[in-house]
Amino acid sequence: MQNDVMLKGSQQRIFNNEKYILIVCFYQKDFDRLSLTQS
């Protein structure tokens, strides 16, 4: 039972990391486009 809870916790952490990476990549594209239009 304890092991199952720990497994779920680590899966949640991995999911959060992937979501964070996706958001960062998305904003990075946005930021590149903004800096292109500014110059």
The letter for the amino acid at 23 is I
pLDDT at position 16: 87
DSSP structure class, residue 28: H
pLDDT at position 36: 77
- Domain map (residue ranges) of the chain: 1-39
**pLDDT by 10s per residue, the chain, length 39:** 577 887 788 888 888 889 998 888 888 888 888 777 775
pLDDT at position 1: 59
pLDDT at position 33: 80
Query: CB-based contacts of 34: which residues, under 8 Å, 6+ apart?
Result: none
pLDDT at position 26: 87
